Amino acid sequence: MIHGFSPIFAAIFALPAGADGWKIVFVLALLAVAVVLFAMEKVTVDIITFCVLIPLILTGILKPEQAYSGFSSEAVISLAAIFVISGALTATGVLDLVGTRIMKLGGGSEARTIFTLMLIACGVSAVMNNTTVTAMFAPATVVLARRTGINPSKILMPLAFASILGGTTTLIGTSTNIAVNQYFKDHKMTELRMFEITPIGLTICFVGILYMMFIGRKQLVARADDSLTANYGIREYLSEIIIMPGSPLIGQRSYDCDLSILEFRILKIIRGTEQLLPDSRVVLEERDVLLVEGKVENLMKVKRIEGIEIKAESKLGDLALKGAKFRIAEMLVTLQSEVNGRTLREADFRAKYGITVLAIYRHGTSLVERIGEVPLRSGDVLLLQGPDEAITNAREKFGLSLLDEVKPTTYNPKLGLRTVGLFLAAIVASTIPCVPGANGWSSLPVSVAFLIAAVLAVSIRAISVEKAYEFVDWKLIILIGGMTAFGKAMTTTQTADFLANAVIGLTGWMGPWFVMAGFFFLTVLLTQPMSNAAAALVVLPVAIKAAEQLGANQHSFAMAVMLAASVSFITPFEPSCLLVYAPGKYRFRDFVKVGSGLTAVLSIVMLILIPLIWPLMK
């Protein structure tokens, strides 16, 4: 038995002979560092990508032109063009119109709402980026939940999962599919057709919807959604302070008075029958009642300050924050939000719009201390207080999504229909033969078809040039371009061969199907700390090399890797999941509990179907 396992250990631990063995060790070390950095989320994915590319160039493993080639690929152009088209559909109100239809079709039944929501989300994300779909539908879903009495946590996770599932149905459904197809083209492999994966994708969507309706939704915990202040964990920090005669606070500006030394924030000033918001123009007066937020221990210190009196402790909640002319509201930060990546101090909500940010909700944790220095991320939910008009202006200016009500973008039938027509025309042109060539008629490349559609969308003013650039997820573009180059490094240094030998040594004795399954689950594992596209591009060259060594169908192995990258729901690190994490008040374990079962079921389905659609042996 021990003797039988010796080839396995030899395959795993033996480096190829020669002076280039260090390159394999170096590339694997870079990969390990990248995985750790992706998991920590302390550094943005674009910076991590450059940190991986620069050492490869400096060590001579990749020439500069090799390292940068991924950024000029057709995949990058295709993705950018699709982002612009998605932005045009948003700007013309098409997606908002779809969102309102969901609200009407859902009714008051939880099961019916989940089915309708997932079905529509799957359909839309088949031809659009799944993160964009989730960002557009999430606010309408929250409103739908609150109007029908359904807890938002019961339907937001199904929405995110459906947007991911829908991406498996077409070539343009997700950035992973486009990146993998670019790899096929670069390595002279048979490219994917637009609807080649549709049969297996539709099966995945069908199974995923059934699972969430009958199993997943029963595993989801209904989170409390009755009070914004309670949900954000600031109820115990709220207190009322009365400015007594002779107080040193009298005459100070409310924006930067002495209370700021004790790290208090004034949320509201009550002066007789008048209610004021603090800003640089409001000066504190005797008998003003200040609604403040701060640490409990600092409240004890305030009691000892002369000229200040704390009102008897009382339960303060949403009503204490609301006034006749201003209110509190939840706003979701999306990838396209202007404040994404900026701190609250840099955004300067208060000075520009007279709005106070009471708290930030992120990944199950409410940040209420020194939040002005916290860089905002996609998926954060801001608890804001300010005048109705100011909140509306801030929503439009900063590109935030309002969660406590939906004010759809005005639907422009003329531009909306034209944009939809351009989108459908691009799909048709990239699917059927429509242009003459040396070898007869052929379809347009995806990059060309959608670039034409994007340019025309800007030309007809469905979206402005400035907005078009804002809708492009540049971090994702950099990630795919950089990881494509990293995959090239794995091939040129024989790292892919080394890893392929290791996997074959572990599973090859059981047959090609088990080797393919090994790569499938390796991809699922890597998608937890890494992005889906990055995980696929790392595993893809290794899987293809293993298939070549086994004499198996490389296309079958590649499909396993590509699809595995799109059906992993175990952790909430996928952008679509992050967008619903805070609004749904989810915990990390919620995704582990619901997502693990869904991932397991879909994995079984795919590992059965992939060899049937793309035979394992040539």
Residue 80 has pLDDT above 70, yes or no: yes
340 has pLDDT over 50? yes
- Give 213-272 pLDDT, tens digit per residue: 999 989 988 876 666 777 777 665 677 889 999 888 899 988 778 887 777 888 889 898
CA 224-230-232 angle, 5° bins:
95
According to the model, what pLDDT value does residue 527 have? 85
Q: What is the average pLDDT across 469-497?
A: 85
Query: What value does the mean pLDDT take over residues 491-517?
Result: 85
pLDDT for the residue numbered 297: 67
What average pLDDT does range 283-294 have in this prediction?
A: 88
Report percent pLDDT > 90 for the chain: 25
* 281 residue type, one letter: R
Cα dihedral sign, 542-547-553-556: negative
Q: What is the pLDDT of residue 315?
A: 59
> Alpha helices, DSSP H only, in 18-93?
21-40, 45-58, 64-68, 74-91
**d(C-alpha 564, C-alpha 607), whole Å:** 10
Look at 344 and 296; give whichever has higher pLDDT: 344
Estimate to the nearest angstrom the gap between the alpha carbon of 402 and the chain centroid. 17
Among 102-106, 356-360, 388-392, the minimum mean pLDDT is found in 102-106
Pairing of strands 356-362, 326-332: unpaired
pLDDT per position as a tens digit, 191-221: 899 999 999 999 999 999 999 999 998 998 8
Q: What is the structure's pLDDT at 9?
A: 44
- The CA distance from 228 to 224, in Å, is 10
Q: Which of 125-129, 510-514, 570-574 has the lowest mean pLDDT?
A: 570-574
Is residue 2 predicted with pLDDT exceeding 50?
Answer: no
The H or E element spanning position 357 is strand 356-362
Nearest to 87 by CA among 512, 461, 587, 538: 461
Domains and CATH numbers, the chain: 77-174+190-225+413-471 (no CATH), 228-321 (3.30.70.1450), 333-402 (3.30.70.1450)
Dig out the tokens for 503 from the structure: 């996997």
11: tokens are 């395959």
C-alpha dist (Å) from residue 459 to 409, 456, 462: 20, 5, 8
Relative orientation angle of helices 175-186 and 74-91, to the nearest 10 degrees: 160
Structure tokens at 125: 């994300």
d(CA 111, CA 134) in angstroms, rounded, equals: 19
Cβ neighbours, 10 Å, residue 126: 25
Which region among 191-200, 293-302, 322-331, 504-513 has the lowest average model confidence (pLDDT)?
293-302
Say which residue, 232 or 610, is predicted with more confidence.
610
Check whether 440 has a pLDDT greater than 90.
no
pLDDT of residue 133: 83
pLDDT beyond 70 at 10: no
Are the CB atoms for 515 and 546 separated by under 8 Å?
Answer: yes
pLDDT of 397 higher than 90: no
Percent of the chain at pLDDT above 70?
87
Q: What are phi and psi of 460, to 5 degrees?
A: -85, 5
CA distance 54 to 48: 10
**Pairing status of strand 238-243 against strand 308-310:** antiparallel
pLDDT at residue 324, rounded to an integer: 62
The whole-number pLDDT of residue 86 equals: 84
Show the beta-strand stretches assigned E in 204-325.
238-243, 265-271, 274-276, 289-293, 308-310
Which pLDDT does position 131 carry in this prediction? 78
pLDDT(13) > 50: no
Taking a C-beta distance cutoff of 8 angstroms, is the pair 114, 225 a contact? no
Mean per-residue pLDDT over the chain, rounded? 83
For residue 351, pLDDT over 80 is answered with no
Amino acid 102: pLDDT: 64
Give the per-residue pLDDT at 205: 96
Residue 373 confidence (pLDDT) above 70: yes
Dump pLDDT digits (tens) for 107-137: 567 888 899 899 999 998 998 878 778 877 8
Return d(Cα 9, Cα 393) in angstroms, integer.
63
